[in-house]
């Protein structure tokens, strides 16, 4: 699991049908590392600190083992004071 911050919504007009209508969000590691794209399974908004899972856990959290996700948001952190943020 990783703690990340939601930056913005990613708009993608052409995508695999299996993605359905799940939002894609741009997230960044709490230490300011590279940005990633995550499937939103909980209803986040930009600025939220979230918990993300990857690999097979990401696919299951998004809905199924066949779901094409490498990173999925599984929780919103209610209180978080990141070091240096």
Domains of the chain: 2-11+21-76 (2.40.50.220)
Proportion of the chain above pLDDT 90, given as a percent: 36
Q: What is the pLDDT of residues 47-67, one digit of tens each?
A: 999 999 887 777 767 666 777
Residue 71 has φ and ψ, to the nearest 5°, of -150, 125
d(CA 37, CA 70): 9
Question: Strand pairing of 35-40 and 71-76?
Answer: parallel
pLDDT class of 85 with cuts at 50, 70, 90: low
Residue 84 predicted with pLDDT over 70: no
């Amino acid at each position: 699991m990783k703690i990340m911050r939601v930056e913005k919504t990613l708009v993608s007009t052409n995508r695999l049908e299996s993605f359905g209508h799940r939002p894609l969000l741009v997230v960044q590691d709490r230490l300011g590392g590279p940005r990633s794209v995550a499937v939103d399974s909980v209803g986040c908004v930009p600025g939220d600190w979230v918990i993300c899972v990857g690999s097979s856990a990401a696919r299951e959290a998004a809905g199924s083992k066949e779901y094409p996700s490498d990173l999925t948001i599984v929780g919103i952190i209610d209180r978080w004071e990141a070091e240096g943020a």
